[in-house]
Structure 1
Amino acid sequence: MMQVHGSKSEKMNIYGGFRQMVKEGGIRSLWRGNGTNVIKIAPETAVKFWAYEQVIVITCGILGTFERFVSGSMAGATAQTLIYPMEVLKTRLAVGKTGQYSGMFDCAKKILKHEGMGAFYKGYVPNLLGIIPYAGIDLAVYELLKSHWLDNFAKDSVNPGVVVLLGCGALSSTCGQLASYPLALVRTRMQAQAMVEGAAQLNMVGLFRRIISKEGIPGLYRGITPNFMKVLPAVGISYVVYENMRQTLGVIQK
């Protein structure tokens, strides 16, 4: 909401955003679009980790910092390409008004009818450009932090524990977001501008120019605070579950 609507009101903050959503659509509006988000997150995360593991297998587990970055980037790009239309649906449902769409399928039908198939890939280019540094830095930093802990602090176990994994996941995701956030913001604007702006449909370069000219460099980081606030529970838990599932399924720790 801050990414899309923040430019219209300099006073929009986290508290004001919550109040506005609850006033407009009640408590349920805070979870608008979450069904689509939950549906897409399973294949997205599975493909990302699967692709990353394949690179580890191909290289026989010998990965330096650069190799981790490249393999993480490839994994993220592959996952995002497969699920991107659902990313657009999630954004439209989240920033839309209460009652504008009855659900995910209604949203997809209306987008297809009024904007055509191409609308499902609006913002794909900045998304792909953004996912390369984000996923690359995220997975690379995570593995480096975990490996550093295992090499220097672990005694008889290859399991770092929940607290360490949470810390590694949170720090790695924060680094990735700092590097890629401007592209994520432009992606969201492109996904939503047809329904919010209602004017000319700007491309990636046009939106960058517009944001910088009207809002300055800080405008490229609008909404990053709530993004950071969700890192620990969202990404941290994701990595904890990932590591525990690896052990449960008998995947050998490299």
Structure 2
Amino acid sequence: MVEEGGYLSLWRGNGMNVTKIAPETGIKFLAYDQYKKFFDDTHSKLDIHERFIAGSLAGVTAQTIVYPMEVLKTRLALGQTGQYKSITDCARILIKNEGIFALYVGYIPNLLGIIPYAGIELTVYESVKKAYCQSSGKNPSEPGIFVHLGCGTISSTCGQLGSYPLALVRTKMQAHAIVRGGPHVSMHQHFYNIIREEGLFGLYRGFTPNCMKVVPAVSISFVVYEEMKNILGLTSN
């Protein structure tokens, strides 16, 4: 990548990534708090399975709204230097050449992956934080930055372990769509090809660099989320 486009090529598609992650994270946290109210208005007596359902629904809601941005991010990241003039240019070319439905390529495996990921991530985060607060005798809003950071790291890692194979297949489907004149490959075929050629461990190819990116990003987002709640005078349960 550096030889082809210089060191800045390592940030190719990052503008779209930042544009996507802001509304996605905001919608996810908002939806999670709203879905929890279906089970308990105080949020304090939710069982693990209720938190998991609320987290999964929040993830599905956020991903459905912002998914076209995910496709554009992948296209920009995989494109050559100078291939697209801007995010809007990438969207225009994609729709013109492949139709509007190209913005939802890989949506099904992404949806199947976000259900366990968001459910596990949010459930583990709140469960670990709650367990710590109960053992230390602190309120949920008092643990501190490092506790929130640790809880976020644990929850993000657990979520990634449970959903990464589907995220890998989603990316493969998005990348495969770039190949002109190539045969259509379904989600099941991608799974079969990976296992046949690389074995079960092939479903976790790229897991380490993904965790190096996702785990600190998610952990930091939880810290900022909790700190902003304290600044705004909102309570945690």
Superposition pairs for residues 215-230 of structure 1, below 5 Å?
A: 215-230=198-213
Cα deviation for residue 56 of structure 1 reads 2.8
Superposition pairs for residues 25-174 of structure 1, below 5 Å?
A: 25-58=5-38, 59-60=40-41, 61=43, 62-155=45-138, 158-174=141-157
With the length of structure 1 as denominator, give the TM-score of the two structures: 0.88
Write the distance in 1 (CA, Å) between the matches of 2:60 and 2:126.
Answer: 18
CA contact (8 A) 2:157 2:215 kept: no
Farther-moved stretch of structure 1 (129-138 vs 105-114): 105-114
Unaligned runs of 5+ in 1: 1-20
**1:157–1:127 Cα change, 3 Å:** closer
> How far does the alpha carbon of each residue in 1:22-64 deviate from its partner, in whole angstroms, 9 at most, with x for none?
1111111111111111111111011100011112333121211
Q: Which residue of 1 aligns with 2:173?
A: 190
Cα deviation for residue 154 of structure 1 reads 4.0
SS at match of 2:203: helix
Cα deviation for residue 201 of structure 1 reads 2.0
Cα deviation for residue 232 of structure 1 reads 3.9
Indicate the RMSD between aligned Cα atoms, in angstroms: 1.5
Pair 1:243-2:223 in alignment: no
Q: Which residue of 2 aligns with 1:17?
A: none
**1:56–1:226 Cα change, 3 Å:** same
With the length of structure 2 as denominator, give the TM-score of the two structures: 0.94
SS at match of 1:185: helix
Q: Which residue of 1 aligns with 2:158?
A: 175
Write the distance in 1 (CA, Å) between the matches of 2:118 and 2:202.
Answer: 23
Cα deviation for residue 157 of structure 1 reads 7.5
Write the distance in 2 (CA, Å) between the matches of 1:100 and 1:214.
Answer: 32
Instruction: State percent identity of aligned pairs.
Output: 59
SS at match of 2:82: coil
> How far does the alpha carbon of each residue in 1:92-122 deviate from its partner, in whole angstroms, 9 at most, with x for none?
1111111221221111111111110110000
CA contact (8 A) 1:212 1:219 kept: yes
Cα deviation for residue 197 of structure 1 reads 7.6
Write the distance in 2 (CA, Å) between the matches of 1:210 and 1:110.
Answer: 30
Aligned residues: 234
* Residue 197 (structure 2) aligned to one of 182, 203, 214: 214
Write the distance in 2 (CA, Å) between the matches of 1:136 and 1:83.
Answer: 18
